[in-house]
Amino acid sequence: MVLSDQEVNYFINTVKSISAYDFSEYSEKSLKRRLQKILIDNNLDLIGLINKLKTNPNFLEKIVRDITVNTTELFRDPAIWQTLRYRVLPQFAQNRNINIWHAGCSTGQEVYSMLILLNELGLLDKAKIFASDLNTEALETAKKGTYKYRFNIGYLDNFDKVIKENPLNYDEYNDVAYEKYFKIDKISDTIIINDFLRKKPIFRQHDLVKGGNLYFAKFDLILCRNVIIYFKYSLQNKVFKLFHDHLYTNGSLVLGMHETMLGEITSRFEKKGQVYRKR
């Protein structure tokens, strides 16, 4: 099923008129792709979909979840975690508190990766971790900290690369047991994050389109990875401005591997790879 730009706009405007969700500044290409898949999966045409959205709030929530991509993993893109470990987090070691915001945290694996790393660096006690997402169902999974084991077996390789190995010295090997941070239960096919990590983050629903700082705090570090890739340039810039306003000077914003800041706002940051340090 191929949708025209007008049909996609019709969908966006309808959702905007009947809910608080606004996809008008999401990238057209990925939105159109997701919408086409939704129509096929639900065996509906656009009019059928719109009618159902108008009469069924639960269906609307489901469609919003289907539109936003929730893919994530523990220590996703290990190279950036090594940068955080050896270059970024040590800068905050002398701070009394370290405030970190995961914007678009999905089901929480990024948050738990951060907590594990902070614990390895002896910084966990001084860290305050805030994590937000648009998708409330993803946030519920994040709070539970329980994931499928077999599906996510690659987590262990990522953990080894970031926590056990030292990319600067391959002779060095930290034999950190997985059980220190999570329980692998092969019978129930789950990885369960240990309680001392699960009780640490504050998870909240927050829509980056609406802006505002939901935590009324300033941050030393903001991770917003693989989120703005789905936004148009205009919304990306709005979000960067929001992050800039809520970072301390010398605080850093970390973007995903395929995301870049462009335009005037770049002059307010010093960029090294995916890390943007506020000037």
Ligand X SMILES: C[S@@+](CC[C@H](N)C(=O)[O-])C[C@H]1O[C@@H](n2cnc3c(N)ncnc32)[C@H](O)[C@@H]1O
If binding is defined by CB under 6 A, does position 106 make contact with ligand X?
yes
Distance of closest approach, residue 140 Cβ to ligand X, in angstroms: 12
Site for ligand X in 254-273 (CB under 6 A): 256
208 is an interface residue for ligand X by CB under 6 A: yes
C-beta separation of 52 from 77 below 8 A: no
Return the number of the residue (79 or 93) whose C-beta is nearest ligand X.
79
Among the listed ranges 3-11, 39-47, 147-155, 221-229, the one in contact with ligand X (CB under 6 A) is 221-229
**Sole window of 29-37, 103-111, 258-266, 268-276 interacting with ligand X (rule: CB under 6 A):** 103-111
Q: Which residue, 171 or 203, is less far from ligand X as judged by CB?
A: 203
Give the helix ranges, DSSP H, for the chain: 5-18, 28-42, 46-55, 57-67, 78-83, 109-120, 136-144, 154-159, 195-198, 233-245
Residue 227 makes contact with ligand X by CB under 6 A: yes
**Site for ligand X (CB under 6 A): which residue of 14, 27, 30, 70?**
70
Q: Binding segment for ligand X among 5-13, 70-78, 121-129, 145-153 (CB under 6 A)?
A: 70-78
Sheet of 190-193, strand order: 146-148, 190-193, 182-185
Distance between CA atoms of residues 251 and 217, nearest Å:
13
User: How many chain residues bind ligand X (CB under 6 A)?
Assistant: 22
Instruction: Scan for tokens 């971790």, then name that residue.
Output: 129
Classify 104 in phi/psi space as left (phi over 0), alpha (psi -120 to 50) or beta: left
Pick one of 129, 133, 155, 163: the residue that binds ligand X (CB under 6 A).
133
For ligand X, the binding residue among 226, 236, 237, 252 (CB under 6 A) is: 226
SS (H, E, C) 105-131: CCCCHHHHHHHHHHHHCCCHHHEEEEE
**Separation between Cα atoms, residue 139 and residue 111, nearest integer Å:** 11
Instruction: Determine if 69 is a binding residue for ligand X (CB under 6 A).
Output: yes
User: Which positions lie near ligand X, rule CB under 6 A?
Assistant: 68-72, 76, 104-106, 110, 133-135, 138, 206-209, 225-227, 256
